[in-house]
Amino acid sequence: MLDEMLQTADWKSEKHVPVIEAPDMVKADEVFEVNVTLGKEVAHPNTTAHHISWIALYFQPEGGKFPYEVGRVELTSHGASTDGPDESGVYTHHGCTFGMKTSHPGRLMAMAHCNIHGLWQSEKKLSLQ
């Protein structure tokens, strides 16, 4: 049922799709960085009324039954204040960086939640040298 709610598209034309930036190939058991952002080509709003709530990164080893959650970031500042919507001047940018390592090839999968447009996902293949 959850898979019916996950939306995908080309991040070059859709502002809600998580963009995964990571090497295509890494050395086994060496730490590398994975950046996940939204709105790389088409800007996503970041207002009290319309924002990205969280970003999560998963890794599924090749041949593995289940993915592992690498990390999750809650994005909690969207301009709201006691003075009203979009009055604080404090906004969390909808992007994050994870450091990880693996001894298996597989795929990185990112999910993001827009408070208006729901759940979005993308994936990127990861190979070992």
| Calpha distance 99→79 (Å, rounded) | 28
Positions annotated as catalytic residues are 14-16, 44, 50, 114, 117
For the chain (length 129 residues), average pLDDT per consecutive 10?
Answer: 65 82 98 94 91 97 97 96 96 96 98 93 96
Domains and CATH numbers, the chain: 2-128 (2.60.40.730)
What's the pTM value of the predicted model, to 2 decimals? 0.90
CA distance 44 to 124: 21
**CA separation, residue 125 to residues 57, 63, 97 (Å):** 13, 13, 17
